[in-house]
Structure formats: structure tokens, C-alpha cells
Chain A
Amino acid sequence: MVRLADLPEYEREHLLAKNLPPLGPLPWHTTTKALSAMRFALITTAGLHFRGEPTFNFADPTFRPIAIDRNADELIMSHSSANFDRSGFSEDVNLVFPIDRFQELVADNTIGSLAEFHYSFMGAGLMPEVYARSAAQVAGLLKQDLVDAVFLTPV
């Protein structure tokens, strides 16, 4: 469990060091679309990519696109941190990148559709503002793909 009170002091101190102030005025976007009409993309900071694609560096604000028509079971991970469990992701890609769950939500009309491309970052070793440029690039790509909303997963 990631309840700080349950963790050893060294772990608690490390995680609390990541408590940073907001990056600026708090953004809040709204839409009149119903959930069942929204187009979603998944974004993870787990450092995922397909085997043979460029791996992430130790501290790396770049991102990797994940095409919807690729087999997500073939995703691997090159996250630099040694401080999280990887055995669960070995068992099930959806634990980190819930693409099958979102396909099911499309099938039962809970959400409208899924983007053609989803995206993976590697969240480690950098201050948040370093991601501004690549986030802007992804925002542009998402808009080209007519994405309304993003579901984000850390690791």
C-alpha cells in the first residue's frame, strides 16, 4: 500500500520530496459531451514501448506513441526507477496500461471511442516543468486525433 504512514522512513522521505507546488494557475476544462460520446486516449508514465523501439534514458522527457492496432501484450518497459513492482505488469499489461478495459468500455457504450494513438512517458528524475514541451506536442497530436479526454496512469 502506498500510504505514507505504512512505509519505512527512508521511503516516506523520498516520496514526500516529490511534493511540489502547482505549476501555475490551476487549469479546468469542461465539455458538454456525455461520457458515452467522448473519445479517450491513455497516457502512462511507466516508460512503456515496443521491443526494439528506443529505450528511455535515465531522465528523459520524451514520449513514445502506442498505436491502437499494435498488440499491447508486446509492450515492454525501460523505466529507470528500481523502486516499484514490475511483476504485476509482467502478468497483465492492463495493470499499467488498461487498453483492454477501455476497449470494453467502448464496446458497451460507456465511452464513445478510443484514439488511434496513445502515449507513454517515463516519469523519473526530472522536475515537472521539463515535460512542458513534450506535453504540448502530445496535446497537439491528441487534438489531431479529436481526443476529448485522457486517462493517466503513473507507475
Chain B
Amino acid sequence: MCALSYYLEAAGILTTGISLVRENAESMQPPRSLWVPFALGRPLGKPNDTAFQHRVIDAALSLLAAPAGPVLEDFAEEAPSTPVEDAPACPVSFANPNSNAETWTARLNAEHIQLQPWYELGKRRRKGRSLVGASSSTLTEIMNRLGGLLDRDTLPTDDLKGFKLAIEDAKTFYLEALTAQPGDYSAQKIEQILWQQTQLGAGLKRFYDRFSAIPKLAIMARLIASRQAIGGATGDEIEIKSLPSKED
């Protein structure tokens, strides 16, 4: 974002905007930048909070009145949050008989079937909005593909981009199903459920390990799981190395 600010301002267009990592803005010095203390992925702070989003935008627009720059200011408010214990409970129990199926394909398909009605409910709550669809495959096709790769213990080295789009569609499907009910969710809690309780999380962890073991493909591992999912091993961080696996 700092680079775009630089080039657009140099071309004669006023720029202002949000910075999520203050140190990066301090270093690159875009013309006008409002640092906000929000989670990565949430530059306006909180979804569906019109008043709060307007306060963030107003603060960034006010930087346009500065007589000289670069200007880096801090937004004074934290994003409104709901205590984890008050967030809606996960509607799905993943301790179901199908999780004992012998193949990854069977387990992933069973999980998909279990989540489908919750995904539909969530989509209805969001008035039809869904981020699923970056890949050109249906969820059934994606689950069969991922399950097949896992059952054969192979990697999709001939189509890494298609694989990445497929797993993002699968993760998005799960996140949208797990947040089917109205309410303020803890993004971290939902991620923990995905990585710690689901067969998809366990399968992605297996892909992560396989890619990590091949030096020229190790970067692909980092595109599968977040640093927090892999790197954190204590406290509230996600410890996917502890995931149960049918093959362990």
C-alpha cells in the first residue's frame, strides 16, 4: 500500500489511507497514513459497524488537510470487540461417526455434507453474500480432489495455483458455515476450530508438512496455513501439530 501511495502521489493524485503495521509506514513514509490498531484483514475495524467505520474514514480524510508531510497519525480507538465467551457458539460438533471413516476422501465429504446446511444458513443471514468461488470447482469437487491427494499421499505439483484457490474456497466455506448464526465472532476462535477440530484442518496440516519438506516448494506451505496456525505452540495460539490424525 505504501508503494501505491508513493507512485500515485508522485503522479499528482492526493492519497490517504490506512496502515495496519505502523513500523512499515514509519519506514516507507507514505504521504498520509492513519495507523489503526486492528487485526490484519480488518482495516476498517469491525464489520457492519457503520458509525465506527465512518470514524476511521473521517480520521484518514482529515490528514488531507495537513500542510506538509509525510503524515502518520494513530487512530485512538480500539475496534469494538465481544468477549470470546459471549460470542455465538460453534453450531457444529465435529465428533461424529463419519470422522472414523478410513479414507480422507470419505471424511472430508462427510464433513462437507455436515456443514452444507450451516453454510446455507450463513449465506442467507448474509443476504446471499459468500466469498466461496475463487476456484472454478464445486465444494464436492474440491473435497474429492483434496481427499484423493491425501489418500494417495501426493502433492498437486502440476497445478499449485488451482490447489491454492481450491483450499481457500474450502477454508472460506468452513468459516462461513461456522459463523452461520448472527453475532460478533472471535476470528481467532473460528480459526482454532478450523485447524484443531476439523478434518479439513488436519488435511491442510498434512499438506503443509509435505510441502515444507521439499525445499523448492516450501514457500507453498506458507500459503496453506497462517504463521499463527503453524508457529504458535503455546497459550491461545493454534497448535496444529497436536491435531489428531487417523493415520497417526
Contact = CB atoms under 8 A, between A and B. Distances in A.
B10 interface: yes
Interface in A1-24: 1-4, 8, 10-11, 14-16, 18-24
Nearest to B69: A28
B9 A27 contact: yes
Interface of B: 1-24, 26-29, 31, 37-48, 50, 53-54, 57, 60-61, 64-65, 68-70, 78, 126-134, 160-161, 164-165, 168, 171-172, 175-176, 179, 185, 187, 190-191, 222-229, 231-232, 237
Contacts of A23: 3, 6-7, 28
| Most chain A CB inside 10 Å of its own CB: which residue of B1, B20, B28 | B1
A148 B43 contact: no
A11 B175 contact: no
B43 A155 contact: yes
Interface residues of A, number: 82
B228 to A, nearest CB: 7
A117 interface: no
Interface string A82-124: 1111111111111110101110110000110000000001010
A29 interface: yes
A48 to B, nearest CB: 10
Contacts of B161: 55, 57-58
Contacts of B224: 82
The 7 closest A-B pairs by CB, nearest first: A152-B17, A128-B3, A84-B41, A135-B7, A92-B47, A85-B41, A139-B11
A115 B232 CA distance: 43
A153 B31 CA distance: 14
B134 A78 contact: yes
A45 interface: yes
A86 B131 contact: yes
Contacts of A104: 50, 54
B69 A26 contact: yes
Given A57-B161, A78-B165, A86 B41 contact: yes
